[in-house]
């Protein structure tokens, strides 16, 4: 919640230097993959960061009640992880006799704020509070210590929140797919889900939107809300050029089902045809993978590229720092954030509606697929969280060396029970925006490009890569147009 009187209280992480702090915001983190991301971050943080470092998790949910429950769950998880630490953590602390689990728990902080991505007014107020005011956990926690605290920056934002909009399964299509394509293809790339027509947010009086222009629920929950949020959070994601800290990271969560045929740039919200979820995820792929390309840069500049800062806000508000998109200034130069793309593989999630007995069968099918050699059937939210957590925790030099912003990083899981990240093929892009023949890949095991590849996939051509760049420019231009249009309509 936002403080009525923004008088900041000292936060426990302020006792350590900036490089010993890690701030991570996760949207949609009260269950499933989002909760798994937060839990996996706790584990990876304790295993790899210094014994003086502090982890500040900012999981968002759609209500104060869900935020309270998420805080309780994550704090209990952190306590359990600290009380039963890995041997390496004990040894780093000087042995079992010197280790105190209470000291470990005191370095993990959970600050959960309600956020409805479909409520643009609420979204902008949320971002303004983070950027220029103080924030607190919702009321209802005994002896709560995170009240009226400031968040000085964000090291990573993980955009996990989504809404599917499905109503069930076309069983005839499922049976046909099973007998013509086999179990692996059917359970990895299902083309038989039935979707409801996307809801129109303008029809919900609680949001206060005008009758026109239309705003689709799935599009906004999956992509547009996050896009607008990124613009507003940019002051927390940029860094002075002289800073020792790496740029902020924007980590989007996509899907293995983000296929070309689900998306039409002339119907970017997918208002006139089904598969709004898959369309939104395809749009996410396009926005992320093309963001650094020459024809896209003019439209992505205001969000991602280097800028300058001035200390005087350009309009009334709580912000003390305003980001300007100009290099012709004597103000401090800023380094813009980096954008990365991930997907969780195939997770048994309640995002897709299935009766209880069918959900159990679905979980069993995912295990069978993994034993049959599929790398994508991660099954659980914790395993599906591997890729975004890996992108959060990696050194910037490693990501730069891999050109990680040009790759769709998938959470993968093999027969031996090992989790890892695997580059994922994207239609019209390939694996990293280059013409590559998977037959020439001599990598062994699950990391081979042919492992987990979609049935009928074809090698990307130079013409398709050029077309992808043009499509990226169109998508970025339209997203910017929509953002500025809604800011004017709602006077944000």
Catalytic residues: 254, 277, 281
Tell me how far apart the alpha carbons of residues 197 and 398 are, in angstroms, rounded to a whole number. 43
| Residue 198 DSSP symbol | P
- R_g of the chain computed on alpha carbons: 22
DSSP run (H or E) holding 24: strand 21-26
Alpha helices in 385-457 (DSSP H): 386-393, 396-401
| Residue 97 DSSP symbol | T
Tell me how far apart the alpha carbons of residues 108 and 42 are, in angstroms, rounded to a whole number. 8
Structure tokens at 296: 């896209």
Contact between 39 and 70 under an 8 Å Cβ cutoff? The reply is no
Residue 166, SS3?
Answer: strand
Contact between 34 and 167 under an 8 Å Cβ cutoff? The reply is no
Distances (CA, A) of 295 to 157, 204, 242, 479: 26, 37, 29, 15
Contact between 119 and 202 under an 8 Å Cβ cutoff? The reply is no
Tell me how far apart the alpha carbons of residues 261 and 279 are, in angstroms, rounded to a whole number. 8
Sign of CA dihedral 239, 241, 242, 248: positive
Tell me how far apart the alpha carbons of residues 176 and 182 are, in angstroms, rounded to a whole number. 9
């Amino acid at each position: 919640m936002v403080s009525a009187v923004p008088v900041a209280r000292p936060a426990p992480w302020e006792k350590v230097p900036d490089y010993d702090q890690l701030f991570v915001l996760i949207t949609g983190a009260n269950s499933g993959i989002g909760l798994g991301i937060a839990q996996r971050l706790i584990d990876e943080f304790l295993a790899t960061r210094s014994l003086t470092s502090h982890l500040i998790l900012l999981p968002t949910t759609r209500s104060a009640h869900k935020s309270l429950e998420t805080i309780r769950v994550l704090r209990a998880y952190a306590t359990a992880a600290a009380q039963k630490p890995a041997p390496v953590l004990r040894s780093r602390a000087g042995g079992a006799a010197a280790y105190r689990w209470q000291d470990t728990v005191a370095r993990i902080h959970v600050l959960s704020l309600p956020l409805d991505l479909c409520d643009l007014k609420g979204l902008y107020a949320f971002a303004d509070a983070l950027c220029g005011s103080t924030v607190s956990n919702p009321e209802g926690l005994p002896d709560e210590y995170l009240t009226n605290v400031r968040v000085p920056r964000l090291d990573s934002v993980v955009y996990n929140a989504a809404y599917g909009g499905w109503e069930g399964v076309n069983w005839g299509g499922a049976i046909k797919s099973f007998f013509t394509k086999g179990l692996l293809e059917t359970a990895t790339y299902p083309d038989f889900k039935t979707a409801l027509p996307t809801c129109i947010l303008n029809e919900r009086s609680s949001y206060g939107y005008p009758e026109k222009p239309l705003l689709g629920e799935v599009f906004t929950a999956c992509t547009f809300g996050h896009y607008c949020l990124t613009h507003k959070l940019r002051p927390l994601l940029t860094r002075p050029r002289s800073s020792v800290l790496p740029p902020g990271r924007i980590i989007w969560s996509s899907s293995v089902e983000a296929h070309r045929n689900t998306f039409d740039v002339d119907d970017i919200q997918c208002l006139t045809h089904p598969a709004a979820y898959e369309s939104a995820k395809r749009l996410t792929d396009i926005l992320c993978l093309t963001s650094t390309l020459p024809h896209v840069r003019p439209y992505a500049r205001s969000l991602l590229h280097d800028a300058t800062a001035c200390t005087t806000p350009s309009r009334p508000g709580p912000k003390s720092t305003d980001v300007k998109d100009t290099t012709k200034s004597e103000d401090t130069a800023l380094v813009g954030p980096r954008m990365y793309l991930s997907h969780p593989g195939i997770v048994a999630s309640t995002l897709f509606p299935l009766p209880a007995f069918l959900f159990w069968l679905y979980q069993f099918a995912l295990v069978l697929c993994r034993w049959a050699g599929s790398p994508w059937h991660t099954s659980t939210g914790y395993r599906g969280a591997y890729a975004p957590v890996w992108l959060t925790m990696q050194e910037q030099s490693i990501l730069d060396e891999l050109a990680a912003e040009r790759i769709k990083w998938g959470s993968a899981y093999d027969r031996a029970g090992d989790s890892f990240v695997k580059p994922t093929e994207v239609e019209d892009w390939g694996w990293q925006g280059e013409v590559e023949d998977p037959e020439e890949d001599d990598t062994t095991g699950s990391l081979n490009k042919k492992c987990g590849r979609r049935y009928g996939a074809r090698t990307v051509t130079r013409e398709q890569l050029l077309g992808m760049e043009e499509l990226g420019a169109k998508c970025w231009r339209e997203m910017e147009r929509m953002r500025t249009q809604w800011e004017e309509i709602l006077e944000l």
